[in-house]
Amino acid sequence: MTLFFGADYYPEQWPQSRWETDAKLMKEAGFNVVRLAEFAWSRLEPSDGCFDFSWLDQAVDLLTEQGLKVVLGTPSASVPPWLFHAHPDMAIVDEDGTTRTYGSRRDASPAHPAYCHYAVRIARHMAGHYAQHPHVIGWQVDNEFGDRCYSEASRRAFQVWLKNKYGTLENLNATWGSVFWSHLYTSWEHIPVPRKTTHAKHNPGLHYDYYCFQSELYTEFQQAQLEALREQVGFEHLITHNLMGFSYGNLDYFKLAAPLDFVSWDNYPSAFWREAVTANPAHIALGHSAMWGLKQQNFWVMEQQSGASGWHVMSPSPQPGQISLWAYQAIAHGADGIVFFRWRSYPKGAEQNWHGILDHHGQPGRRYHEVKKMGEQLGRLGPGIAGSLPEHQVAILHSYESRFSFQIQPDSPQFSYEAHVAAYYSALHRKNIPTALVSAPSDLTSYKLVLAPALRLVSEETVQHLGAYVRQGGVLVVTPRSGSRTMTNAIVETPLPGLLAELCGVTVEEYDALPSSMTRRLKFVGSESVVNSSLWSDVLAPTTAQILAVYDEGYVAGKPAITCNSVGQGRVIYIGAMGDGSFVQTIVDYVLSTVQVKPALKIPETPSVEVTERWQGEQQLIFVLNHGAESVTLPLEGSYLDLVSEEHLENHLTLDPYGVRILTQPPVAGLETRK
């Protein structure tokens, strides 16, 4: 197996006379793959039905002469002017009813039949043309699906979708509770899309269905292209889509990823819209863990940051070492492909300020030399790493259903589902416990600990599944709002946590959304330790569970806040409160003290240092990554070989600023055995 290493290249943006230079520089950098063409529709089909692959053929040939493999993008993320002009009603319409103007990308609605037709047509033509090319190895369908659309085409498609889902209007009206505010529908055609209303928001049943519908629309849009590609290339080529990590929550990525051969995503640790200077290692890791968890399978980073990011403003440039650190971090979490965005910064167009490996002038500089050094290292290490598997001891249940529901009603003005999940992930990450984000129906048997943060929408099947996991010895942690809604986004009519109440051995006697100024102290039973909670309080009434902590102030003083229920061989811990990072860390530290999980390497906890592991058969590869600008020396138990520097390490381990080590020991039977 190969570890893929390369860049996103846009030959259509450069004179042909430059292509060979680029191809040679790429080869010298140790690249073995390029992604091409995902924004080249207007060059590939300059007018309706006139296809021109000649320029791309030449670019592909030049690149492949240098030994590079090619991943081609289908170009539907950016429609050519002639197509939009012919069908202006394919425009995306915002929630407030504004029709977006052509001129960026993702301009067209996936509900529009003409857009779908043309997108599939060019995908089929491209695939037919390149099916036999010996160096084309894969396809990326479109790029970064997203943007909900509220257009006329979407409204018509939504009504059909609802008819298929509910069968009758009686059923729909009953499920949504349309009788509220007199919305009993008597015709499918009367059903609106949830654009801005005069007053409060739309019916949460309708709103939730719309979000599910929009998500499915993109999945179907992808499926149509996927089938066109498969017709031509069968299973000879691998097919993916470029997803947007954990931070994008408008699509059910589990469903989007299901038909793909592998997941790929774009990783911009210091994107200009974030706190750029201090790229947060846990947040980057969260993206990788979420993308790994979509198929519980290794993934690619199809766009890995290689320079300052920017549109109208810029992020700081990655510090020396940071580009390769971030790329190694991706590998550490299960990436089998690293493709840098982008090869060369383009002096024109909307992304003039987005920097690639080469600056606008095209001369190799600091960033090129750093990437080249990594290319040399991977030339040596890649075959040993490729295909090795990360090992996650803990899983967090990631639910797009709950995410959609919280987007409509977060309940507390301070609550964010993403932040809640991220806080638990970060607390585990701080302890270097490898954690995957998986869907509730996934096979959980390999995880020693499973967390269900704010798993709001819960089905009977999920309860059965979690119950089986716990009875066989699993430990499940449940946090507030879990089980509070049905799968159609209605509030359950039984005491919370609804369908999870029996498994948790507890009911919620009452709950309280705390104002931002308020904290509520909790006290652990049988100990003097206290911790401040905030944001939310569930006051618990145990049925079969034991009390682990009680509230220690206010009118709820003495009432249970955290409980633990023994079920079969396992346990369910219900955390009835929420809080800031230190609250979550306290909870996670407590839970970790009761389960058999451990980091891959015993070193003192150091905020900038991340440890994770992959296994190549019986051989453990321990990635130690320094996210800090200072070098770090840590005591080390045992002796290791660092594969990056080829040094033998004993007693201590020094990491350069943004330095990376990959430690291994010869496999010794019985010493480090896999589960």
Q: Which of 345, 393 has the CB closer to ligand GLA?
A: 345
DSSP three-state, residue 263: coil
CA neighbours closer than 13 Å in the CB half-sphere of residue 489: 26
Q: Kindly report the length of the chain.
A: 675
Residue 18 makes CB contacts below 8 A (sequence gap 6+) with 362
Minimum separation from the CB atom of position 528 to ligand GLA (A): 50
Is residue 303 annotated as a catalytic residue, yes or no? yes
Select which of 38, 45, 216, 303 is catalytic: 303
- State which residue, 305 or 426, has the beta carbon closest to ligand GLA: 305
Tell me the two tokens of residue 395.
Answer: 């899983």
Q: At which residue do the structure tokens 């480090």 appear?
A: 672
Q: Which of residues 317-356 bind ligand GLA (CB under 6 A)?
A: 341, 351, 354
Least distance (Å) from ligand GLA to the CB of residue 576? 39
Residue 401 interacting with ligand GLA (CB under 6 A): no
Q: How far is the CB of 143 from ligand GLA (least distance, A)?
A: 5
Number of residues that bind ligand GLA (CB under 6 A): 8
Residue 533 in contact with residue 582, Cβ under 8 Å?
Answer: no
Nearest-5° Cα angle at 519, 399 to 454: 10
Cα(330)–Cα(336) distance, integer angstroms: 9
Q: Which is nearer to ligand GLA, 78 or 426 (CB)?
A: 78
Rule CB under 6 A: say whether 303 interacts with ligand GLA: yes
In this structure, what token pair is assigned to residue 347?
């002096």
Within 28-87, which residues bind ligand GLA (CB under 6 A)?
none
Shortest reach from residue 260's CB to ligand GLA, in Å: 16
Q: Which residue is nearest to ligand GLA (CB)?
A: 266
> Rounded to the nearest whole angstrom, what is the least distance from the CB of residue 634 to ligand GLA in the complex?
35
- In angstroms, the CA 461 to CA 494 distance is 17
Q: Which of 54, 33, 52 is nearest to 44 (CA)?
A: 52
Judge contact between 554 and 510, C-beta under 8 A. no
Task: Measure the CA–CA gap between 498 and 487, rounded to whole angstroms.
Answer: 12
Catalytic hit among 144, 370, 610, 613:
144
Nearest distance from residue 142's CB to ligand GLA, in Å?
10
Is the distance from CB of 69 to CB of 23 less than 8 angstroms? no
Q: Omega before 497 cis (within 30°)?
A: yes
End-to-end CA distance of the chain: 24
Residues 238-277 binding ligand GLA (CB under 6 A) are 242, 266
Q: Which is nearer to ligand GLA, 242 or 462 (CB)?
A: 242
Contact between 534 and 518 under an 8 Å Cβ cutoff? The reply is: yes
473-502 b/e with 16+ CB inside 10 Å = b? Answer: ebbbbbbbbbbbbbebbeebeeebbbbbbb
Which residue in the set 22, 107, 142, 144 belongs to the binding site for ligand GLA (CB under 6 A)? 144
> For residues 307 and 271, is the Cβ–Cβ distance under 8 A?
no
Q: Rule CB under 6 A: which of 597-656 touch ligand GLA?
A: none
Hey, how many other C-beta atoms are within 10 angstroms of the C-beta on 313? Answer: 11
Residue 233 CB, nearest distance to ligand GLA (Å)? 23
Burial (CB < 10 A; 0-12, 13-18, 19+), residue 197, is exposed
144 catalytic residue (yes or no): yes
CA proximity to 215, closest of 267, 168, 254: 254
Q: Which residue's CB is nearer to ligand GLA, number 349 or number 581? A: 349
Least distance in Å: CB of 221 to ligand GLA?
17
- Residue number with CB closer to ligand GLA (40 or 136): 40
Q: Where in the sequence numbering do the catalytic residues fall?
A: 144, 303
Q: Rule CB under 6 A: which residues touch ligand GLA?
A: 143-144, 242, 266, 303, 341, 351, 354
